Amino acid sequence: MSEEKKKRDGFGSKIGIIAAAAGSAIGLGNIYRFPCELGNNGGAAFLLVYLAVVIFLGIPVMLSELVIGRRSQSNAVGAFKKLAPKSAWSIVGYMGVLCGFIIFAFYSTVSGWTLEYIIKAVSNSFQGKDLAAMEQDFSDFHNMGWRNVMWQAIFIFLTGFVVFKGVQNGIERYAKILMPLLLVILIVLGIRSVTLPGASEGLSFLFSPDFSKIDGKVLISALGQGFFSLSLGMGALITYGSYIKKKDNLTSTAFSVVLADTLIAVLAGLVIFPAAFSFGIRPTAGMGLVFNTIPMIFNQMTGGYIFCIIFFVLLAIAALTSTISLLEVVVAYLSEELHINRKWSTVWACVATLFIGSFASLSLMENTPFAIGGRTVFDLMDFVSSNILLPLGGVLIVIFVGWRLGKTKFFEEVTNEGTIKASLKKVIFFIIRYLAPIAIMIVFISGLIN
Ligand code: PFF
């Protein structure tokens, strides 16, 4: 065994793996991006397609990534080099690293907002504000471009700090305790939201589907959101899979993570839409949907002041456990493939992310120069990574496992060399080999044509 391999970090316990993978999955994607996408894509119909995506594609793709990672014990690029030496497959890994970098760049913008909102919550600046005032504050904040960049920089620094400390100590410890707490606070918020006057309109927006709304755009958005939310298609779970021990059960890990992530997303929908309809916020309001609605719900709650602070702190932490995994993909690549030591890999990756990411932040100002063809740099980064690179990465990953790695090795990995039962392995492999590649391609192409 090489020196480098012996030194690889690993997750300590079963709950640690699930917590870390769920920490990667659960983040702004669930609480911020999911309601935005749902609101912009017709509500309940989107939810249905989304659920189909996460169940039928999410689980197989996630399991494929974990299998690749654990079998190869390598970063996203190294994994393909090891499992398919001297082939073009490593391109999938490079695509993943690039995608991780792009996502981190714009994701850190919104992550930074969570810090601003913690300050706002602490200073009680939401108190008594109506919708117009709340919206004004939100857009004023966007127009303070450099303030956005400052928070973004702080967030990137925090992420770098945790990643530099390493897998075992950094990620695992934080994720384990805090994600369940987020669930609890969302449940409390959900109860308040559905009991607001006029909430039923939001509930029917969320749960009564109008099937005529399902078109190519809805399909690709649901696919992109599913991959984004589950952290799939860019090697984050290949990288995390490589830290999982040989005796751990990959299938149950994939199921637990998909379940937890989906629960949080649906719960976020249940928090946002009934309240948004009650306050008169349009479901298509985009960015403001979440950042304006949530403080307004807290304004209507006893103890809202404290809950609001706790909520934004937890949201920041949820974002952090996701940015950690984004940065980890890049750092694991730089340190293992390019042999730059972990400290400098982290520093360079963070500096580069801040540089590119600041364009995303500054592109949200009014009259920004950073827009191309009417789309902000932020939107472009989001669109290219989530709706193009992730599905493309996902399809290549399942093709790799289904056709190149093959059934025998896949079964060996999911049964831990025959020592545990994985009763769904045949069905899942069938999906990986045939259904998932076809389904992802169809959705992807229909979205592009649309
Ligand atoms: N899944 C994260 C979220 O929903 O917020 C975002 C993300 C993290 C996407 C890591 C991709 C990734 F590799």
* Strand boundaries in 367-411, DSSP class E: 371-372, 375-376
Q: How do the domains of the chain map onto residue ranges? A: 2-326+354-449
Per-residue pLDDT tens over the stretch 181-234: 889 999 999 999 999 999 999 999 999 999 999 999 999 999 999 999 999 999
DSSP type of residue 386:
I
From 53, 44, 52, select the one nearest 212 (Cα to Cα): 44
- Percent of the chain residues past pLDDT 70, beyond the cut: 95
- Percent of the chain residues past pLDDT 90, beyond the cut: 81
- Per-residue tokens: 319: 């974002």
Q: How far is the CA of 3 from the centre of ligand 1 (A)?
A: 31
Q: Is the CB of 103 under 6 A from ligand 1?
A: yes
- Per-residue tokens: 358: 């600041």
pLDDT of residue 63: 97
Indicate the range of 8-12, 36-40, 157-161, 226-230 predicted with least confidence: 8-12
- Per-residue tokens: 168: 């075992």
pLDDT of residue 6: 42
User: Which has more pLDDT, 148 or 174?
Assistant: 148
Using N-to-C axis directions, what is the helix angle for 304-337 and 145-165, rounded to 10°? 60
Given a cut of 80, is residue 3 above it in pLDDT? no
Q: Is the CB of 30 under 6 A from ligand 1?
A: yes
pLDDT of residue 2: 42
Q: Of the residues 228, 263, 314, 320, which should be mutated to test ligand 1's pocket, given the most ligand atoms within 8 Å of the CB?
A: 228
Q: How far is the CA of 108 from the centre of ligand 1 (A)?
A: 11
- Per-residue tokens: 149: 């960049």
* Mean pLDDT over the full length of the chain: 92
Q: Is the CB of 345 under 6 A from ligand 1?
A: no
Helix (H) / strand (E) element for 121: namely: helix 90-122
Per-residue pLDDT tens over the stretch 403-441: 999 999 999 999 999 999 988 999 999 999 999 999 999
pLDDT of residue 169: 56
Judged by DSSP in three states, 404 sits in: helix
Q: Of the residues 38, 325, 331, 333, which should be mutated to test ligand 1's pocket, given the most ligand atoms within 8 Å of the CB?
A: 325
* Average pLDDT, integer, range 6-19: 70
Judged by DSSP in three states, 375 sits in: strand
From 384, 6, 24, 7, select the one nearest 238 (Cα to Cα): 24
Q: How far is the CA of 262 from the centre of ligand 1 (A)?
A: 13
- Per-residue tokens: 148: 């956005």
CA distances from 238 to 69, 71, 318, 443 (A): 4, 9, 20, 24
Q: Is the CB of 231 under 6 A from ligand 1?
A: yes
Q: Is the CB of 323 under 6 A from ligand 1?
A: no
- What confidence tier does 374 reach under pLDDT thresholds 50, 70, 90? confident
The model scores a pTM over 0.75: yes
DSSP string, 25-40: HSSHIIIIIHHHHHHH
Per-residue pLDDT tens over the stretch 73-121: 999 999 999 999 999 999 999 999 999 999 999 999 999 999 999 999 9
Q: How far is the CA of 106 from the centre of ligand 1 (A)?
A: 12
Q: How far is the CA of 196 from the centre of ligand 1 (A)?
A: 31
- What confidence tier does 388 reach under pLDDT thresholds 50, 70, 90? very high
* Average pLDDT, integer, range 263-286: 94
Judged by DSSP in three states, 372 sits in: strand
How many other C-beta atoms can be found within 10 angstroms of the C-beta atom of residue 197? 9
Residues 6+ apart with CB under 8 A from 55: 258
Q: Is the CB of 182 under 6 A from ligand 1?
A: no
pLDDT of residue 5: 43
Hey, what CATH topology would domain 2-326+354-449 get? Hydantoin permease (1.10.4160)
CA triplet 255, 256, 260: central angle to 5 degrees?
120
Q: How far is the CA of 320 from the centre of ligand 1 (A)?
A: 10
Rounded Cα gap, residues 416 and 423, in angstroms: 13
Given a cut of 70, is residue 399 above it in pLDDT? yes
Q: How far is the CA of 175 from the centre of ligand 1 (A)?
A: 14
